């Protein structure tokens, strides 16, 4: 077995299967590969996303995750403790946000699990607020879920100025808590 060809999931049709992680990341069984996932362009401001190429049952492990532990968050990191973040721009970075996601991340085990049944062709999504205290970039969510929270923040921060303006405009009954300027 070579470092470049990780003995994780069997390839389909004898085609070559490559890990999403570069050779600098020590290979482990279960790391995401091109046999199971493909990178797709969402065609909107979310940019690139991930689509499952195979089905996963609810409760099934989707992938073992890896990366580089850092002490600062960025758009390429996922928070794994109060002070530490895992830099993973190769796979986790590509997971889109949904307020009703089909993937959850166990940051203690560094594993992604199917929160519900996933069909081949489904986009993979996680709830950014499930792991992040503070988002690198707050944004208006259009996930389409009936439980959509609208304006996305981290779990330990309030909406920023743009978010307060968005909420005041889009959410009936929302009060920004500030008096209007004259």
- Measured CA to CA, the distance from residue 53 to residue 32 in angstroms comes to 11
The count of residues interacting with Zn ion (CB under 5 A) is 4
Q: Of the two residues 25 and 148, which places its CB atom closer to Zn ion in the complex?
A: 148
- Measured CA to CA, the distance from residue 54 to residue 14 in angstroms comes to 16
Q: Which stretch binds Zn ion (CB under 5 A): 42-50, 70-78, 107-115, 135-143?
A: 135-143
- Measured CA to CA, the distance from residue 16 to residue 119 in angstroms comes to 22
- Please give the helix or strand (H or E) that residue 161 lies within, else none: helix 161-170
Q: Are 146 and 118 contacting, i.e. CB atoms less than 8 angstroms apart?
A: no
- Tell me which residue of 128, 122, 56 sits closest to 96, measured CA to CA: 128
- Tell me which residue of 22, 139, 141, 132 sits closest to 80, measured CA to CA: 132
Q: Of the two residues 86 and 129, which places its CB atom closer to Zn ion in the complex?
A: 129
Report the nearest approach of Zn ion to the CB of residue 166 (Å).
Answer: 13
- Measured CA to CA, the distance from residue 66 to residue 23 in angstroms comes to 12
Q: Are 98 and 91 contacting, i.e. CB atoms less than 8 angstroms apart?
A: no
Q: Is 167 in the site for Zn ion (CB under 5 A)?
A: no
- Measured CA to CA, the distance from residue 72 to residue 54 in angstroms comes to 34
Q: Which stretch binds Zn ion (CB under 5 A): 8-16, 41-49, 96-104, 170-178?
A: 96-104
Q: Of the two residues 142 and 156, which places its CB atom closer to Zn ion in the complex?
A: 142
Report the nearest approach of Zn ion to the CB of residue 123 (Å).
Answer: 13
By rule CB under 5 A, what string of x and - marks binding of each residue 42-81 to Zn ion? ----------------------------------------
Q: Can you tell me which residue has the tokens 């560094």? A: 110
- Considering only residues 35, 99, 103, 124, which one is a binding residue for Zn ion as defined by CB under 5 A? 99
Q: Which stretch binds Zn ion (CB under 5 A): 37-45, 85-93, 134-142, 155-163?
A: 134-142
The whole-angstrom distance between residue 116's C-alpha and the CA centroid of its chain comes to: 15
Q: Which stretch binds Zn ion (CB under 5 A): 75-83, 97-105, 124-132, 165-173?
A: 97-105
By rule CB under 5 A, what string of x and - marks binding of each residue 138-157 to Zn ion? ---x-x----x---------
Residues found near Zn ion in the complex (CB under 5 A): 99, 141, 143, 148
């Amino acid at each position: 077995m070579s470092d470049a060809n990780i003995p994780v999931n069997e390839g389909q049709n004898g085609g070559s299967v490559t890990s999403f992680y570069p050779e600098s990341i020590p290979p482990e069984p279960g790391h995401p590969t091109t046999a199971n996932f493909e990178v797709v362009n969402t065609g909107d401001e979310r940019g690139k996303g991930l689509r499952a190429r195979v089905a996963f049952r609810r409760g099934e492990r989707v992938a073992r995750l890896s990366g580089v532990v850092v002490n600062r968050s960025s758009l390429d990191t996922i928070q794994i403790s109060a002070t530490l973040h895992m830099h993973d721009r190769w796979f986790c970075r590509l997971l889109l946000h949904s307020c009703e996601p089909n993937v959850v991340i166990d940051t203690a085990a560094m594993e992604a699990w199917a929160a519900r049944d996933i069909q081949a062709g489904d986009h993979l999504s996680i709830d950014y607020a499930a792991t992040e205290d503070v988002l690198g970039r707050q944004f208006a969510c259009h996930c389409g879920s009936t439980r959509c929270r609208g304006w996305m923040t981290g779990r330990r921060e309030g909406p920023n100025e743009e978010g307060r303006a968005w909420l005041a405009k889009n959410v009936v009954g929302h009060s920004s808590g500030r008096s209007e300027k004259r």
